[in-house]
Amino acid sequence: MSVPDDTAPEAAHSDSSTADNRPNVIDFESVLDEQIAAEEEDGSHTEFDPRVFHPSSVGYSEWLIMVKKLGLSDTSDLRGTFKMGDLVHEYTQKALVQAVEHIDGWDDIETPVEFDEDGLTFVGHADVYDPEADIVYDIKSRGSWYNFDPPVDRHIDQLHCYMRGLDAQYGQVIYVSKKDMEVRTWPEGAPFTFDEARWDEIKARCKRVRDAIYDEGIPQSEAEIPFDRPDNYFAESTELDFSGVNGGGA
């Protein structure tokens, strides 16, 4: 006598019931993407005033300074990478402040820098300023140490802006690995000193960008950028986006 096989229908019914009652799950990728995008928008460094520059961009070529200043690059694919760098950055800042007793408070760790010079305005925040030692520290995160060969000119130029604004004589770049928090500095040991000639070169680049915007206005396409796109990694990998300056056009 055969025994009816009633296990399959029950199993099928059970699976269907479970699926029907299963709760909706959170779309974690969308949540993170939206949060990172919102924070990026809040912290935008776009400046349409021809005179205003952020220290983080002054070390590049005139072409890329203009692109960054006017918000003409599409960085949406890099938001996650930037956020990971920010997290390492903030952790390192906190550790430095806790190690140096005379630097007051985590909330005040970043020092505002804003000053005018030669028809230019520089606006930013120095990562860590130790007024007693007269040193400004700038923190940079790295994915790896591949091709690490300091000094990196754009990093030194950025620090010169902070040093000038804070009237600090010394600076040092703190490189931190996003992989394992390994730290390397430049210079190793003692910091470098402010270089007046280098500062003059930084201002000269910014003046050329300022004057180009005054003379020709804000570019609406790549053809209208009055500088040649350099033959280097940063410029070649930059995707342009003019939607912020021409109402959505490319």
Provide the whole-model pTM.
0.79
Token look-up 């009652």 returns: 21
Which range of 131-140, 154-163, 237-246 scores highest in mean pLDDT? It is 154-163
- 89 with 139: CB under 8 angstroms? yes
Query: Per-residue pLDDT for 248 more than 50?
Result: no
- 163 with 169: CB under 8 angstroms? yes
Query: Per-residue pLDDT for 6 more than 70?
Result: no
d(CA 250, CA 241): 6
pLDDT, tens digit, for every residue of 142-198?
Answer: 989 999 999 999 999 999 999 999 999 999 999 999 889 999 999 998 999 999 999
Cβ of 24: how many Cβ atoms within 10 Å? 5
Pick the more confident residue, 100 or 54: 54
Region 100-108 average pLDDT: 57
Predicted local distance difference test score (pLDDT) of residue 39:
65
Using DSSP bridges, classify how beta strands 120-126 and 52-53 pair: parallel, antiparallel or unpaired: parallel
List, in order, residues 6 or more apart from 89 with CB less than 8 Å away: 127, 139, 141, 176
Region of poorest pLDDT, from 31-45, 68-82, 119-133, 185-199: 31-45
List, in order, residues 6 or more apart from 220 with CB less than 8 Å away: 242, 245, 246, 249
Predicted local distance difference test score (pLDDT) of residue 18:
55
Gap between the terminal Cα atoms of the chain: 77
Using pLDDT thresholds of 50, 70 and 90, give the confidence band for residue 249: very low
List, in order, residues 6 or more apart from 4 with CB less than 8 Å away: none
Using pLDDT thresholds of 50, 70 and 90, give the confidence band for residue 98: confident
d(CA 159, CA 172): 8
pLDDT, tens digit, for every residue of 218-240?
Answer: 999 999 999 999 998 888 888 89
Region 205-218 average pLDDT: 97
